[in-house]
Amino acid sequence: MACPSTIVPLTVVRHEAELVVPAKSTPKEIKQLSDIDDQEGLRFQVPVIMFYKKSPSMEGKDPVRVIREALAKTLVFYYPFAGRLFEASNRKLMVDCSGQGVLFIEADANVGLHHDMLQPPSPYLDQLLYNVPGSDGIIGCPLLLIQVTRFVCGGFVFALRLNHTMCDAAGLFQFLSTISEFARGEPNAPSVTPVWEREVFNARNPPRITCPHHEFEEVRDTSMAMDNNNLIQRSFFFGDEELIALRKQLPPCLRNCSKFEVITACLWRCRTIALEVDPDKIVRVSCLVTARVVKKGLCIPLGFYGNTLVYPAALSTSEMLCRKPLRYAVELVQSAKGQMSEEYVRSVTDLMAIKGRPLYTVAGNYIVSDTTRAGFDKIDFGWGNPVYGGVAGAISLISFYVAFKNSKGEDGIVVPICLPPPVMERFQHELHKMTQLGGVEDSYVIKPTKIQSML
């Protein structure tokens, strides 16, 4: 059942954006991104937002000043973030470590923090993370934009926009953790020394594609394309009741599958039904997976903060996915994740070099990323952990899974998704049916549940 959020009127007064540079002199050099970093699919900006309550122990301290100073100290160690990207031959991305700095905005809001502000997608993102004109490109632009907004209740919001080619969620968490250590005055900051070593994810010599990569297959089918200019975004909450309802639709041998697997299977199926894809068309779900899960062979050093992401895909005809029970989709998602190995990661890296860093398949694809354990909800600048910390919303065909506590105090996972308006209504209807167990062949009768939808 849809439960639209209350939109609290918000006015934000911003100071002029400034460039924060490293607190000390840093090396002026050129650094090369890896073949995983500079793939076309990571050439976008990702927003992260964290909400903090007032802390009596920090009375008299200004979060803007504390974080600005900590950021400058952090950039001494993470100085590539203060540089700018440029393209070398064959569109290879390089970092000019020029020390120009990252964009920083100081701001003040006219209201206190409210729970409905926390729900991704944030209805106030444009105000809490202002897009400085000319700053959102991939080449020649600041690699980070940070805005700290004070609220009248004494709380504040830390919002950040990251050029994704520089790092993944684990790398960003490491960077933010260092800022938080300096902000708290930790004497041994940084506790983890950053390591560049992007060559860990460079192509082999000679490169060779040794695994199937359905996530990069070229599909020219305009019938499955979505108009990115005609999308709305809503989020859906999966708590214990929703997960129990979905697991009840699975045979006993699959009921111990992960939350990610069952939620992904459910969303993929409902989304495909809502899009009304022709029965014989091939649809995909691509699961963003970090190579850090590969325990042997890759030798990722402690402190490495580059991208480690690949996105193996599951495939099905639309008809099979929509008609078969949920177990069918779950097993496909499990199979896709099961492709992960050292050889698979090496094969992806080599594919980037051989095929010129192609974009992932767009038509008929849905990309999901589990950030529930990314740690953004554990970044403490001295005011304690945020009441919400995570990605601020979905991006086109990419959904991020975020840990979330709803207004009832229930812990769960919230998933933002982008769809055209009429498709969104059908999607919401199908998702509601799945949690009500209507028309599912191998389901069991249980207490009806709700999916909380947040505009």
Catalytic positions, written as ranges: 164, 380
Pairing assessment for the beta strands 144-150 and 102-109 based on DSSP bridges? parallel
Tokens of 40: 């076309």
Instruction: List, in sequence order, every residue forming a beta bridge with 368; answer none if it has no partner.
Output: 287, 399
Q: Are 350 and 13 in contact (CB under 8 A)?
A: no
439 conformational bin, left if phi > 0, alpha if psi -120 to 50, beta if neither: left
Give which of 97, 92, 93 is closest to 80, Cα–Cα: 97
Angstrom distances, CA of residue 120 to CA of 1, 75, 125, 236, 354: 17, 29, 9, 9, 38
Helix (H) or strand (E) holding 413: strand 411-419
DSSP 3-state of 404: strand
CB 76 within 8 A of CB 27: no
**End-to-end CA separation in angstroms for the chain:** 12
Q: Which two tokens stand for residue 169?
A: 């969620």
Beta strand ranges found along 83-126 (DSSP E): 84-87, 93-97, 102-109
Q: Which amino acid, 409?
A: G
CA 420, 282, 439, 256 torsion-angle sign: negative
**Helix, strand or coil, per DSSP, at residue 222:** helix
CA distance 47 to 124: 12
In the chain, the amino acid numbered 349 is: T
Structure tokens at 48: 């992260």
d(CA 49, CA 118): 9
Sequence-distant (≥ 6) Cβ neighbours of residue 3 within 8 angstroms:
452, 453, 454
**Nearest-CA neighbor of 360 among 51, 44, 148?**
44
What is the rounded CA–CA span in Å between residue 2 and residue 324? 26
Helices first, then strands: H and E counts in the chain: 9, 18
